[in-house]
Structure 1
Amino acid sequence: MNFLEKLDARRSIRHFDRAYTISDENIIEILNHAANAPSSNNAQPWKVVVIKNKKLLVELQKLSFNQEQVGQASAVFLILGDKRDYDTNRLIQSSIKYNLIQESEINNKKQRINTYYSLHPEDKESVGLRFDVGLFSMNLMHVLRAFGYDSVPMRGVNFAEILKVLKLPEEWEPILLLPVGKAVTTGHSHKRESAEKFTTII
Protein backbone atom coordinates (compact mmCIF):
# COMPACT_ATOMS: atom_id res chain seq x y z
CA MET A 1 0.00 0.00 0.00
CA ASN A 2 1.50 3.36 -1.00
CA PHE A 3 1.40 6.49 1.15
CA LEU A 4 -1.76 7.99 -0.39
CA GLU A 5 -3.59 4.68 -0.28
CA LYS A 6 -2.66 4.37 3.39
CA LEU A 7 -4.05 7.85 4.11
CA ASP A 8 -7.25 7.19 2.16
CA ALA A 9 -7.80 3.88 3.96
CA ARG A 10 -8.28 5.51 7.39
CA ARG A 11 -11.61 4.65 8.96
CA SER A 12 -13.31 5.59 12.21
CA ILE A 13 -13.25 2.31 14.13
CA ARG A 14 -15.84 1.67 16.83
CA HIS A 15 -15.04 -1.91 17.81
CA PHE A 16 -11.71 -2.91 19.33
CA ASP A 17 -10.04 -6.05 20.70
CA ARG A 18 -10.63 -5.68 24.45
CA ALA A 19 -7.72 -8.00 25.31
CA TYR A 20 -5.05 -6.08 23.41
CA THR A 21 -2.69 -3.84 25.40
CA ILE A 22 -0.44 -1.01 24.26
CA SER A 23 2.81 -0.48 26.16
CA ASP A 24 3.64 2.87 27.71
CA GLU A 25 6.83 2.95 25.63
CA ASN A 26 4.80 2.50 22.45
CA ILE A 27 2.47 5.32 23.46
CA ILE A 28 5.34 7.74 24.08
CA GLU A 29 6.94 6.84 20.75
CA ILE A 30 3.65 7.44 18.96
CA LEU A 31 3.15 10.82 20.65
CA ASN A 32 6.71 11.92 19.86
CA HIS A 33 5.96 11.39 16.18
CA ALA A 34 2.55 13.06 16.40
CA ALA A 35 4.13 16.12 18.05
CA ASN A 36 5.79 17.01 14.74
CA ALA A 37 2.46 18.61 13.81
CA PRO A 38 2.60 22.37 13.09
CA SER A 39 1.19 24.97 15.47
CA SER A 40 0.90 28.74 15.71
CA ASN A 41 4.35 30.19 16.48
CA ASN A 42 5.40 26.62 17.37
CA ALA A 43 3.41 26.96 20.61
CA GLN A 44 2.63 23.21 20.75
CA PRO A 45 -0.34 23.90 23.06
CA TRP A 46 -1.52 20.28 23.24
CA LYS A 47 -1.76 18.20 26.39
CA VAL A 48 -2.50 14.47 26.26
CA VAL A 49 -3.83 12.23 29.02
CA VAL A 50 -3.78 8.54 28.08
CA ILE A 51 -6.16 6.32 30.03
CA LYS A 52 -5.40 2.57 30.09
CA ASN A 53 -6.86 1.66 33.49
CA LYS A 54 -9.83 -0.64 32.81
CA LYS A 55 -11.93 0.70 35.70
CA LEU A 56 -11.43 4.25 34.46
CA LEU A 57 -12.32 3.20 30.91
CA VAL A 58 -15.63 1.84 32.22
CA GLU A 59 -16.25 5.18 33.94
CA LEU A 60 -15.33 7.09 30.77
CA GLN A 61 -17.73 4.95 28.76
CA LYS A 62 -20.56 5.98 31.09
CA LEU A 63 -19.60 9.62 30.53
CA SER A 64 -19.56 9.05 26.76
CA PHE A 65 -23.24 8.13 26.44
CA ASN A 66 -22.20 4.48 26.84
CA GLN A 67 -20.45 4.29 23.48
CA GLU A 68 -18.81 0.86 23.43
CA GLN A 69 -15.55 1.86 21.74
CA VAL A 70 -14.51 3.78 24.86
CA GLY A 71 -14.71 0.72 27.10
CA GLN A 72 -13.23 -1.61 24.47
CA ALA A 73 -10.19 0.52 23.62
CA SER A 74 -6.67 -0.46 24.61
CA ALA A 75 -6.20 3.18 25.54
CA VAL A 76 -8.23 6.37 25.34
CA PHE A 77 -6.31 9.52 24.47
CA LEU A 78 -7.90 12.62 25.97
CA ILE A 79 -6.51 15.50 23.95
CA LEU A 80 -6.63 18.96 25.47
CA GLY A 81 -5.12 22.39 24.92
CA ASP A 82 -3.69 25.12 27.15
CA LYS A 83 -4.00 28.74 25.99
CA ARG A 84 -1.19 29.75 28.35
CA ASP A 85 1.21 28.19 25.87
CA TYR A 86 0.58 31.17 23.56
CA ASP A 87 2.25 33.56 26.02
CA THR A 88 4.83 35.58 24.09
CA ASN A 89 7.56 35.26 26.73
CA ARG A 90 7.08 31.51 26.85
CA LEU A 91 7.36 31.33 23.04
CA ILE A 92 10.58 33.36 23.15
CA GLN A 93 12.10 31.15 25.85
CA SER A 94 11.18 28.06 23.86
CA SER A 95 12.87 29.46 20.75
CA ILE A 96 16.02 30.15 22.76
CA LYS A 97 15.94 26.71 24.41
CA TYR A 98 15.90 24.95 21.04
CA ASN A 99 18.43 27.34 19.46
CA LEU A 100 15.90 28.66 16.99
CA ILE A 101 16.97 32.24 17.66
CA GLN A 102 20.00 33.99 19.10
CA GLU A 103 19.92 36.51 21.96
CA SER A 104 20.31 39.30 19.41
CA GLU A 105 17.09 38.22 17.68
CA ILE A 106 14.83 38.25 20.76
CA ASN A 107 13.34 41.71 20.26
CA ASN A 108 12.66 41.08 16.58
CA LYS A 109 11.04 37.74 17.33
CA LYS A 110 8.90 39.27 20.08
CA GLN A 111 7.76 42.04 17.75
CA ARG A 112 6.80 39.55 15.04
CA ILE A 113 4.79 37.43 17.48
CA ASN A 114 2.97 40.46 18.91
CA THR A 115 2.24 41.77 15.41
CA TYR A 116 0.84 38.41 14.41
CA TYR A 117 -1.44 38.23 17.44
CA SER A 118 -2.59 41.82 16.89
CA LEU A 119 -3.77 40.70 13.43
CA HIS A 120 -5.22 37.42 14.68
CA PRO A 121 -6.04 37.72 18.41
CA GLU A 122 -8.37 34.72 18.08
CA ASP A 123 -5.36 32.50 17.39
CA LYS A 124 -4.32 32.57 21.03
CA GLU A 125 -7.85 31.90 22.25
CA SER A 126 -10.10 28.84 21.96
CA VAL A 127 -10.42 29.23 18.18
CA GLY A 128 -6.68 28.97 17.65
CA LEU A 129 -6.33 26.30 20.30
CA ARG A 130 -8.84 24.05 18.55
CA PHE A 131 -7.11 24.62 15.23
CA ASP A 132 -3.64 23.74 16.54
CA VAL A 133 -4.82 20.78 18.60
CA GLY A 134 -6.85 19.63 15.60
CA LEU A 135 -3.68 19.53 13.48
CA PHE A 136 -1.97 17.52 16.21
CA SER A 137 -4.94 15.15 16.52
CA MET A 138 -5.10 14.40 12.80
CA ASN A 139 -1.35 13.78 12.78
CA LEU A 140 -1.78 11.47 15.77
CA MET A 141 -4.48 9.44 14.01
CA HIS A 142 -2.21 8.84 11.03
CA VAL A 143 0.77 7.98 13.25
CA LEU A 144 -1.39 5.47 15.14
CA ARG A 145 -2.20 3.72 11.87
CA ALA A 146 1.50 3.59 10.98
CA PHE A 147 1.98 1.67 14.25
CA GLY A 148 -0.85 -0.73 13.40
CA TYR A 149 -3.61 0.82 15.52
CA ASP A 150 -6.93 2.43 14.69
CA SER A 151 -8.98 5.12 16.39
CA VAL A 152 -12.18 7.15 16.32
CA PRO A 153 -12.31 10.90 17.12
CA MET A 154 -15.12 11.79 19.52
CA ARG A 155 -16.72 14.99 20.80
CA GLY A 156 -20.00 13.50 22.01
CA VAL A 157 -18.90 13.07 25.61
CA ASN A 158 -19.36 14.81 28.95
CA PHE A 159 -16.01 16.56 29.07
CA ALA A 160 -16.82 18.52 32.23
CA GLU A 161 -17.37 15.34 34.23
CA ILE A 162 -14.38 13.61 32.67
CA LEU A 163 -12.13 16.48 33.79
CA LYS A 164 -13.48 16.08 37.33
CA VAL A 165 -12.96 12.31 37.37
CA LEU A 166 -9.36 12.66 36.14
CA LYS A 167 -8.69 15.70 38.37
CA LEU A 168 -7.11 17.72 35.57
CA PRO A 169 -6.14 21.43 35.69
CA GLU A 170 -9.06 23.72 34.93
CA GLU A 171 -6.86 25.62 32.45
CA TRP A 172 -6.72 22.57 30.19
CA GLU A 173 -9.46 22.80 27.57
CA PRO A 174 -10.74 19.41 26.33
CA ILE A 175 -10.82 19.13 22.55
CA LEU A 176 -11.16 15.47 21.66
CA LEU A 177 -11.54 11.97 23.04
CA LEU A 178 -9.71 9.36 20.94
CA PRO A 179 -10.27 5.66 21.70
CA VAL A 180 -7.37 3.62 20.29
CA GLY A 181 -6.77 -0.08 19.76
CA LYS A 182 -6.68 -3.05 17.42
CA ALA A 183 -9.69 -2.98 15.14
CA VAL A 184 -12.01 -5.99 15.00
CA THR A 185 -14.15 -4.39 12.26
CA THR A 186 -13.19 -2.50 9.10
CA GLY A 187 -15.39 0.52 9.74
CA HIS A 188 -17.64 2.24 7.23
CA SER A 189 -16.29 3.18 3.81
CA HIS A 190 -15.80 6.86 3.07
CA LYS A 191 -18.42 8.80 1.17
CA ARG A 192 -16.92 12.16 0.25
CA GLU A 193 -17.73 14.92 -2.23
CA SER A 194 -15.44 15.26 -5.23
CA ALA A 195 -12.86 18.06 -4.99
CA GLU A 196 -14.42 19.68 -8.06
CA LYS A 197 -17.49 20.44 -5.97
CA PHE A 198 -15.70 22.39 -3.20
CA THR A 199 -12.68 23.84 -5.00
CA THR A 200 -12.18 27.14 -6.78
CA ILE A 201 -8.93 27.53 -8.75
CA ILE A 202 -8.05 31.10 -9.72
Structure 2
Amino acid sequence: MNFLKSLDSRRSIRHFDATALISNDEIMEILNHAANAPSGNNAQPWKVVVIKNKKLLQKLQAFSFNQTQVGRAAAVFLILGDKKNYNVDQLIQKHLKYKIINESQVSDKRNRIQTYYSFHPEDKEEIGLRLDIGLFSMNLMHVLRSFGYDSVPMRGVQFEKIMQLLELPTDWSPILLLPVGKATTKGHEHVREKAENFTTIIN
Protein backbone atom coordinates (compact mmCIF):
# COMPACT_ATOMS: atom_id res chain seq x y z
CA MET A 1 0.00 0.00 0.00
CA ASN A 2 1.50 3.34 -0.99
CA PHE A 3 1.36 6.37 1.29
CA LEU A 4 -1.54 8.21 -0.38
CA LYS A 5 -3.64 5.05 -0.61
CA SER A 6 -3.00 4.43 3.08
CA LEU A 7 -4.09 7.98 3.93
CA ASP A 8 -7.24 7.77 1.83
CA SER A 9 -8.27 4.35 3.12
CA ARG A 10 -8.19 5.18 6.84
CA ARG A 11 -11.53 4.61 8.55
CA SER A 12 -12.80 5.10 12.08
CA ILE A 13 -13.25 1.51 13.21
CA ARG A 14 -15.78 0.67 15.92
CA HIS A 15 -15.71 -3.14 15.71
CA PHE A 16 -12.64 -4.94 16.99
CA ASP A 17 -11.59 -8.56 17.46
CA ALA A 18 -11.79 -8.85 21.26
CA THR A 19 -9.19 -11.64 21.27
CA ALA A 20 -6.48 -9.63 19.48
CA LEU A 21 -3.42 -8.58 21.48
CA ILE A 22 -0.81 -5.86 21.11
CA SER A 23 2.56 -6.23 22.83
CA ASN A 24 4.19 -3.62 25.02
CA ASP A 25 7.24 -3.57 22.75
CA GLU A 26 5.04 -2.90 19.75
CA ILE A 27 3.24 -0.09 21.59
CA MET A 28 6.53 1.61 22.41
CA GLU A 29 7.77 1.28 18.83
CA ILE A 30 4.51 2.75 17.54
CA LEU A 31 4.70 5.68 19.95
CA ASN A 32 8.34 6.38 19.07
CA HIS A 33 7.30 6.78 15.43
CA ALA A 34 4.22 8.85 16.32
CA ALA A 35 6.38 11.21 18.41
CA ASN A 36 7.95 12.54 15.21
CA ALA A 37 4.86 14.76 14.95
CA PRO A 38 5.50 18.52 14.95
CA SER A 39 4.67 20.70 17.94
CA GLY A 40 5.01 24.37 18.82
CA ASN A 41 8.64 25.17 19.65
CA ASN A 42 9.21 21.40 19.68
CA ALA A 43 7.51 21.31 23.10
CA GLN A 44 6.19 17.76 22.59
CA PRO A 45 3.52 18.25 25.29
CA TRP A 46 1.90 14.84 24.86
CA LYS A 47 1.42 12.24 27.57
CA VAL A 48 0.08 8.80 26.70
CA VAL A 49 -1.47 6.23 29.03
CA VAL A 50 -2.13 2.87 27.37
CA ILE A 51 -4.71 0.61 29.01
CA LYS A 52 -4.67 -3.10 28.15
CA ASN A 53 -6.16 -4.57 31.34
CA LYS A 54 -9.53 -6.09 30.36
CA LYS A 55 -11.28 -5.22 33.63
CA LEU A 56 -10.15 -1.60 33.30
CA LEU A 57 -11.30 -1.54 29.68
CA GLN A 58 -14.79 -2.55 30.81
CA LYS A 59 -14.78 0.35 33.29
CA LEU A 60 -13.60 2.70 30.57
CA GLN A 61 -16.45 1.47 28.39
CA ALA A 62 -18.92 2.39 31.14
CA PHE A 63 -17.44 5.92 31.16
CA SER A 64 -17.73 6.08 27.36
CA PHE A 65 -21.52 5.79 27.10
CA ASN A 66 -21.06 2.02 26.83
CA GLN A 67 -19.50 2.18 23.36
CA THR A 68 -18.38 -1.39 22.76
CA GLN A 69 -15.21 -0.55 20.82
CA VAL A 70 -13.66 0.59 24.12
CA GLY A 71 -14.20 -2.72 25.88
CA ARG A 72 -13.25 -4.84 22.85
CA ALA A 73 -10.05 -2.95 21.96
CA ALA A 74 -6.65 -4.59 22.21
CA ALA A 75 -5.63 -1.38 23.99
CA VAL A 76 -7.01 2.07 24.63
CA PHE A 77 -4.65 4.99 24.28
CA LEU A 78 -5.57 7.93 26.49
CA ILE A 79 -3.81 10.94 25.00
CA LEU A 80 -3.26 13.92 27.27
CA GLY A 81 -1.34 17.19 27.22
CA ASP A 82 0.88 18.89 29.77
CA LYS A 83 1.13 22.69 29.54
CA LYS A 84 4.30 22.63 31.64
CA ASN A 85 6.09 21.60 28.46
CA TYR A 86 5.59 25.15 27.19
CA ASN A 87 7.70 26.60 29.99
CA VAL A 88 10.49 28.58 28.30
CA ASP A 89 13.25 27.40 30.66
CA GLN A 90 12.17 23.80 30.15
CA LEU A 91 12.16 24.28 26.37
CA ILE A 92 15.69 25.73 26.49
CA GLN A 93 16.95 22.81 28.56
CA LYS A 94 15.39 20.33 26.12
CA HIS A 95 17.04 22.08 23.17
CA LEU A 96 20.39 21.92 24.95
CA LYS A 97 19.93 18.29 25.97
CA TYR A 98 19.35 17.17 22.39
CA LYS A 99 22.03 19.53 21.01
CA ILE A 100 19.54 21.50 18.93
CA ILE A 101 21.35 24.59 20.24
CA ASN A 102 24.57 25.21 22.16
CA GLU A 103 25.18 27.50 25.14
CA SER A 104 26.13 30.44 22.92
CA GLN A 105 22.69 30.26 21.26
CA VAL A 106 20.60 30.16 24.44
CA SER A 107 19.91 33.91 24.66
CA ASP A 108 18.81 34.15 21.03
CA LYS A 109 16.62 31.06 21.31
CA ARG A 110 15.01 32.33 24.51
CA ASN A 111 14.22 35.68 22.87
CA ARG A 112 12.68 33.98 19.85
CA ILE A 113 10.45 31.73 21.96
CA GLN A 114 9.35 34.62 24.18
CA THR A 115 8.63 36.78 21.14
CA TYR A 116 6.58 33.99 19.59
CA TYR A 117 4.53 33.58 22.76
CA SER A 118 3.99 37.35 22.93
CA PHE A 119 2.37 37.10 19.48
CA HIS A 120 0.43 33.93 20.31
CA PRO A 121 0.01 33.52 24.09
CA GLU A 122 -2.83 31.07 23.42
CA ASP A 123 -0.30 28.60 22.02
CA LYS A 124 1.00 27.79 25.51
CA GLU A 125 -2.54 27.33 26.82
CA GLU A 126 -5.34 24.88 26.10
CA ILE A 127 -5.72 26.01 22.47
CA GLY A 128 -2.09 25.28 21.66
CA LEU A 129 -2.22 22.05 23.61
CA ARG A 130 -5.15 20.76 21.57
CA LEU A 131 -3.41 21.67 18.32
CA ASP A 132 -0.19 19.88 19.26
CA ILE A 133 -2.02 16.83 20.64
CA GLY A 134 -4.14 16.73 17.49
CA LEU A 135 -1.02 16.63 15.31
CA PHE A 136 0.45 13.85 17.46
CA SER A 137 -2.82 11.88 17.48
CA MET A 138 -3.24 11.98 13.71
CA ASN A 139 0.35 10.81 13.34
CA LEU A 140 -0.35 8.01 15.81
CA MET A 141 -3.45 6.83 13.92
CA HIS A 142 -1.48 6.51 10.68
CA VAL A 143 1.44 4.77 12.39
CA LEU A 144 -0.99 2.28 13.95
CA ARG A 145 -2.31 1.40 10.50
CA SER A 146 1.20 0.73 9.24
CA PHE A 147 1.51 -1.84 12.06
CA GLY A 148 -1.78 -3.48 11.07
CA TYR A 149 -4.06 -1.88 13.67
CA ASP A 150 -7.07 0.40 13.35
CA SER A 151 -8.50 2.96 15.72
CA VAL A 152 -11.28 5.43 16.35
CA PRO A 153 -10.69 8.88 17.93
CA MET A 154 -13.19 9.63 20.70
CA ARG A 155 -14.13 12.72 22.67
CA GLY A 156 -17.58 11.61 23.82
CA VAL A 157 -16.38 10.17 27.10
CA GLN A 158 -16.38 11.14 30.78
CA PHE A 159 -12.76 12.23 31.02
CA GLU A 160 -13.00 13.38 34.63
CA LYS A 161 -14.12 9.93 35.79
CA ILE A 162 -11.43 8.25 33.69
CA MET A 163 -8.76 10.51 35.19
CA GLN A 164 -9.97 9.61 38.70
CA LEU A 165 -10.11 5.90 37.91
CA LEU A 166 -6.52 5.87 36.61
CA GLU A 167 -5.31 8.27 39.35
CA LEU A 168 -3.61 10.57 36.83
CA PRO A 169 -2.10 14.00 37.61
CA THR A 170 -4.75 16.70 37.70
CA ASP A 171 -2.59 19.11 35.71
CA TRP A 172 -2.63 16.81 32.68
CA SER A 173 -5.39 17.68 30.21
CA PRO A 174 -7.20 14.69 28.68
CA ILE A 175 -7.70 15.37 24.98
CA LEU A 176 -8.55 12.10 23.24
CA LEU A 177 -9.47 8.48 23.86
CA LEU A 178 -8.21 6.17 21.12
CA PRO A 179 -9.38 2.54 21.13
CA VAL A 180 -6.97 0.42 19.07
CA GLY A 181 -7.31 -3.09 17.72
CA LYS A 182 -7.77 -5.46 14.82
CA ALA A 183 -10.74 -4.45 12.72
CA THR A 184 -13.57 -6.91 12.07
CA THR A 185 -15.35 -4.49 9.68
CA LYS A 186 -14.14 -2.06 7.04
CA GLY A 187 -15.85 0.93 8.61
CA HIS A 188 -17.95 3.53 6.82
CA GLU A 189 -16.89 4.96 3.48
CA HIS A 190 -15.63 8.53 3.58
CA VAL A 191 -17.97 11.29 2.46
CA ARG A 192 -15.84 14.40 2.00
CA GLU A 193 -16.23 17.78 0.31
CA LYS A 194 -14.13 18.31 -2.81
CA ALA A 195 -11.15 20.63 -2.40
CA GLU A 196 -12.70 23.24 -4.72
CA ASN A 197 -15.48 23.70 -2.15
CA PHE A 198 -13.14 24.79 0.65
CA THR A 199 -10.04 26.16 -1.07
CA THR A 200 -9.01 29.62 -2.24
CA ILE A 201 -5.81 29.89 -4.28
CA ILE A 202 -4.20 33.30 -4.61
CA ASN A 203 -1.77 33.40 -7.54
Quickly name the TM-score band, shorter chain normalised.
over 0.9
Q: SS at the partner of 1:91?
A: helix
Q: SS at the partner of 2:168?
A: coil
Please name the residue that 2:37 is paired with.
Answer: 37
Give the Cα separation in 2 of the matches to 1:201 and 1:67: 41
Residue 37 of structure 1 aligns to which amino acid in structure 2?
Answer: A
Q: SS at the partner of 2:77?
A: strand
Q: SS at the partner of 1:180?
A: strand
Q: How is 1:7-156 mapped onto 2 (pairs within 5 angstroms)?
A: 7-156=7-156
Please name the residue that 1:196 is paired with.
Answer: 196
How far off its partner does 1:76 sit?
0.1
How far off its partner does 1:3 sit?
1.2
Give the Cα separation in 2 of the matches to 1:86 and 1:3: 32
Give the Cα separation in 2 of the matches to 1:2 and 1:144: 15
Runs of 4 or more above 2 Å deviation: none
How far off its partner does 1:2 sit?
1.7
Q: Deviations over 1:71-99 (max 9, x none)?
A: 00000000000000000000000000000
When normalised by structure 2's length, the TM-score is: 0.99
Please name the residue that 2:6 is paired with.
Answer: 6
Root mean square deviation, CA, Å: 0.3
Give the Cα separation in 2 of the matches to 1:179 and 1:4: 24
How far off its partner does 1:17 sit?
0.5
Give % identity: 70
Give the Cα separation in 2 of the matches to 1:61 and 1:102: 48
How far off its partner does 1:35 sit?
0.1
How far off its partner does 1:55 sit?
0.3
Residue 117 of structure 2 aligns to which amino acid in structure 1?
Answer: Y
How far off its partner does 1:11 sit?
0.1
Give the Cα separation in 2 of the matches to 1:164 and 1:16: 26
Q: SS at the partner of 2:139?
A: helix
Residue 104 of structure 1 aligns to which amino acid in structure 2?
Answer: S
Give the Cα separation in 1 of the matches to 2:136 and 2:2: 23
List alignment gaps of at least 5 residues for structure 2: none
